Amino acid sequence: MTGAGRGELEGTVRVSEIPAKATGSTRPVARAGGALPARPVPGAGGGPLSPEPAGNADVGAATAGTAGTAGGRARSAAVGGPGQDPGDPAGEDVPGPAGHDGGTGDVGAGAPPTVGTGGPLGAAGSADGVDTRHHAPGAEPPGVEDAPLTSDDVVWQSSPPGSIYDYIKVASFSIGPDGLVDQWSARAERLFGVAARDAVGKDPIEAFVAPELRRRGHRKMAEILDGREWTGSVPFRTPAPAPADGGPAAAGPQEAVGLAESVGLEGIAEVYVMPARTADGERSAVCIVVDVRALRQIETDLAASQAIFGQSPFGFLLFGTDLRVQRANRRFAAVFGGAEDDHRGRTVHDYLPRHEADRMQAALCRVLETGEAVTDMQIIGPAPGSNERRHWSINLYRVHSGSGRPIGVAGLGNDVTSRHAAAREAAHARRNLALLNEAGARIGNSLDLETTARELLDVTVPGFCDLASVDLYQGLLDGDEAAHMRQSLADGSAELRRVAFASAVSDVPFPEGTGPVEVGSVHRFAFNSPCADALRTARPRLIAAGDDCGPARRLTSGLIQSTLAVPMVAHDTVVGLAQFSRTKGSEPFGERDRALAVELAARAAVCIDNARLYRREHERALILQRSLLPPGDPEAAGLDIACRYLPGNAATEVGGDWFDVIELPGHRTALVVGDVMGRGLRAAVAMGELRSAVRTLALLDLEPAEVLSALDEIARGLGNLPGPGHARRATPAGARGRDSDDLAEVYLATCVYAVYDAVTRRVTFANAGHLPPVLVEPGESPLMLDVPPGMPLGVGGEPFEEVDVDLPDGALLALYTDGLVESRDHPLDEGLNAFVGALAEPAQALEDICDHVLNTLDTHHGEDDIALLMARVRGLPAEHVGDWTLPREPQSVGRARELACERLRAWDLEALVDNAELLVSELVTNALRYGEGEIRLRLLLDRTLVCEVWDAGLVQPRRRRARDTDEGGRGLQLVGLLSAAWGSRRTPRGKTVWFELALPDGDSAPMDAAEALMSLF
């Protein structure tokens, strides 16, 4: 072997075979003519070391550069001589073979005596901070401890850092002249899992080689002992000795654990056999063994590393401790250009914008210092040669050498631009869906046009755009739909009214001439404008910032970047235009935004059109309802009347509440309050029909119960329910079921009907399911009258009861509907108590009392119509009433004339004496001729003069037209000519025939009786 070869071997064996100790820092030192110290030397550089066994072939390698000096020996006789036990676990102390010039018995004897250059890894003698040249022969280095070594002190050395031997395990043993193992290193114990006591003295071929290979192995062993070198791969298997034979169980506790891990192991070892001689000159051999498994693992690791760098679809960078690129893979180079080697030495500032590079640099420093990995770090920057913004996901982790020393940071990057784009699209889709959901929840909650338009803008600003407006056709708002259709479809430039506007940048001024149209103003779009085109074609138009000429300038100049003009189409009819604008600096509108704007506008258009139709129906129903209510302030004899009617708000349909004041003959007054169940135009129509029926029945002078009974039949007829007459009608069996299933809508109503007699101050009530009247007598607390409620109108089958109540002069009577005392927030009982409490001070004027009630109660809820009718009793004075009873005899006619003329003169009504005398004579004569019982004459003076003639007959007078040749039959015609009104009514004891004369006002004179008589012929 040449010196160079031996030196190379020495360096190899030195690093792999120097044992280490867990504590202290020592290194075995060879002294000229002396022995290696048997104890560690603490405080020296390098790693912790344990003393090397004497005679081991590795000793020369462990002391390269020093062990080859003249006069040096591997061991001192004091430490271990020729008689040392070969099974001694402390160090295998056997005398080494003589070396060149008295050198150590190491295979490396005769190596050049270099210090600092021995072996490929440098001078081992000085690397650990211990210089053997400065020690006297036979002296021990300072700091040597006498502590004995154990098997726990044997670990794989990992210093100096970065050596290949950090990854490869190397061991050694020697073979004596007899072909048996005479030395077995601690590293061999670890590699093969066999203790020295089990290996020394055994044939290695028999112990470790498979039976089928032993013959060849013995032949090779003979050649080696003849002085030939040999290198090759040898398959081996670890024997499994019994504990009594010194197996793992016979070793120490810690040693047994390590050895037991390798028992029964099979593998391949790379063996380098070097011939040697003993001190007696006999041939022997030193064997250096390398674990092939470690080599194969290195190959696998290299292949994996090459796969990452060369075949990975992700960009890979390896940064050194100076944070410069040491290596880049092919994918990274493909993205950022150049070859892989071109990126060496670069920093992150060569690839990223400054702010992103600073973030990346800080992350690299943090990973290198702390060792904490960074995952999914988002970096944004342009790709080389492009201004497109790219997104990368970066993962950083610290990289260590085999000794655990940090050597840099690895970075793995993936281009996630498409993922960000997909996420952005998904976010836009979620935003659009959220806007649609919000629009469905918020738009259309009100049936008011302006409110619905504002709800659309509340949803879209600022979530969808920065400015928005809604314009509706003026013709639709005015109800002129025919004109709207003609103008809008012709050119799209019909008049529009701005009903709503919203801005998220209201504090930013608009350039002159580009401000928005004021809310409530009426305007037009020019024929060739984009907005008119959108209205004309019913398609959305995008007006970009570049389109700043002509009519589009108002929409895009200055502050506005782009505008979406979207027609609002409902039921194939364009009702208006919605404009959505984004300011400069915002994201421009895309196709997805256009589709969303169309959907939002369509939803709002349907709601606005519904609100428009509802407003039209509501206004018509309200007009109809108001036309059916008493015009102005109603008047009644013996009563002061005040009334209020409040329709529901625009969000609720008009109801069927009504009230009426009907003057009856004899200075009597009918007070009516009713409520048709239901809402809308049909309820208003039903209310009108019932009110007309009430007035008709009242003029027939029926009793209140009879009026309600007749109204009940009418209400049942409104719903087309089969009545008693229908039930008796024969129908085919097959049609009967169809008729019963096809019933029209049922109309139900509540009503209270009261008749007040100003002469007797008595009121008669009849109630059909309505709330009870409230009476307030002077000096008394308000009282709800106990009037039997009865069944609502339209139910049928139940009679109605009457209640008579005498009222003192000055008493207050209140009739009302449920909208006054009931709402969602106030139950009925609470509302009734509040209403009664509001009437506690009836001394005020009636108008003031009505206002006080409406202000005190919750009348602004708008959930239902409110009708309130209040009447204060003001009976006729006794001096304004003339009442006489006349016997049934002809002289009573003259007596009646005398009494009437006398009383009229007393009332200073001389102008009415002639006509009244003639008419009284006619009525009393008819009572004598056609009536029965006593005759009663009564004169009543109030706003008019009323004359009544009572008798017990039941036959009602009937006016007929007399022929020219008839001598009679003209009396009632004369009454009709001379009186303002006349009629007859039934009474409980007969009938009453009456006529009414208007009081003279000084401007017109009553009709002359003679002229009236002549007009009959």
Tell me the pLDDT tens digit for each residue of 93-111.
333 333 333 333 333 333 3
Closest to 915 measured CA to CA, from 904, 925, 929: 904
- Higher-confidence position of 943 and 160: 943
CB-count exposure of residue 832 (10 Å: 0-12, 13-18, 19+)? buried
Q: How far apart are CA 360 and CA 208, in angstroms?
A: 56
Residue 386: partners with Cβ closer than 8 Å, 6 or more residues away = none
8 Å CB contact between 773 and 785: yes
Q: pLDDT by residue (tens digit) across 970-993?
A: 778 888 888 888 888 888 888 899
pLDDT at 1016: 58
pLDDT at 395: 94
**Local confidence band at 924 (pLDDT 50, 70, 90 cut-offs):** very high
**Local confidence band at 52 (pLDDT 50, 70, 90 cut-offs):** very low
**Local confidence band at 8 (pLDDT 50, 70, 90 cut-offs):** very low
- Higher-confidence position of 558 and 119: 558
pLDDT at 673: 94
Q: pLDDT by residue (tens digit) across 626-683?
A: 776 776 678 888 899 998 888 766 555 667 788 899 988 888 999 999 998 877 777 7
pLDDT at 490: 53
8 Å CB contact between 708 and 768: yes
Whether the predicted pLDDT of 857 surpasses 50: yes
pLDDT at 619: 78
**Local confidence band at 337 (pLDDT 50, 70, 90 cut-offs):** confident
Give the mean pLDDT of 417-434.
Answer: 86
pLDDT at 260: 42
Whether the predicted pLDDT of 752 surpasses 90: yes
Whether the predicted pLDDT of 242 surpasses 70: no
Give the other-Cβ count within 10 Å of 639's Cβ. 23
Question: DSSP code of 636?
Answer: B
Q: pLDDT by residue (tens digit) across 267-299?
A: 788 888 999 988 888 889 999 988 887 778 777
Which tokens sit at 240? 């499994």
Q: For every residue of 335-399, which 3-state class applies, written as one string?
A: HHCCCHHHHCCCCHHHCCCHHHHHHHHHHHHHHHHHCCCEEEEEEEEECCCCCCEEEEEEEEEEE
Q: pLDDT by residue (tens digit) across 348-385?
A: 998 888 999 999 999 999 999 999 999 999 998 887 77
Q: DSSP E strands: which ranges in 148-250?
A: 170-175, 181-184, 230-237
Whether the predicted pLDDT of 70 surpasses 50: no
Residue 1008: partners with Cβ closer than 8 Å, 6 or more residues away = none
pLDDT at 886: 92
**What share of the chain in percent tops pLDDT 90?**
22
pLDDT at 398: 93
pLDDT at 230: 86
Give the mean pLDDT of 196-207.
Answer: 87
Which tokens sit at 604? 């709002």
Give the other-Cβ count within 10 Å of 906's Cβ. 11
pLDDT at 359: 93
pTM value > 0.85? no
Q: Which long-range contacts (CB under 8 A, 24 or more apart) does 736-745 make?
A: 743/719, 744/719, 744/720, 745/682, 745/719
Give the mean pLDDT of 739-745.
Answer: 44
**Local confidence band at 753 (pLDDT 50, 70, 90 cut-offs):** very high
Q: pLDDT by residue (tens digit) across 778-817?
A: 888 899 999 998 899 988 878 899 999 999 998 999 999 9
pLDDT at 13: 33
Q: pLDDT by residue (tens digit) across 865-896?
A: 888 999 999 888 888 999 999 999 989 999 99
**Local confidence band at 1003 (pLDDT 50, 70, 90 cut-offs):** low
Whether the predicted pLDDT of 557 surpasses 80: no
Whether the predicted pLDDT of 35 surpasses 50: no
Whether the predicted pLDDT of 74 surpasses 70: no
Whether the predicted pLDDT of 18 surpasses 70: no
**Local confidence band at 340 (pLDDT 50, 70, 90 cut-offs):** confident
Give the mean pLDDT of 202-220.
Answer: 85
**3-state percent breakdown (helix, strand, coil) of the chain, nearest 5:** 35, 25, 40
**Local confidence band at 541 (pLDDT 50, 70, 90 cut-offs):** very high
The CA-to-CA distance between both ends of the chain, in Å, stands at 173
Which tokens sit at 750? 């509540």
Residue 34: partners with Cβ closer than 8 Å, 6 or more residues away = 72, 73, 76, 137, 138, 139
Q: pLDDT by residue (tens digit) across 457-480?
A: 999 998 899 999 999 988 888 776
pLDDT at 120: 35
pLDDT at 813: 93
8 Å CB contact between 286 and 176: no
SS3 799: coil
**Local confidence band at 580 (pLDDT 50, 70, 90 cut-offs):** very high
Whether the predicted pLDDT of 57 surpasses 90: no
Q: pLDDT by residue (tens digit) across 483-524?
A: 555 555 555 678 899 999 998 887 655 555 556 788 889 988
**Local confidence band at 265 (pLDDT 50, 70, 90 cut-offs):** low
- CA-based angle 628:630:634, to the nearest 5? 175
pLDDT at 861: 59
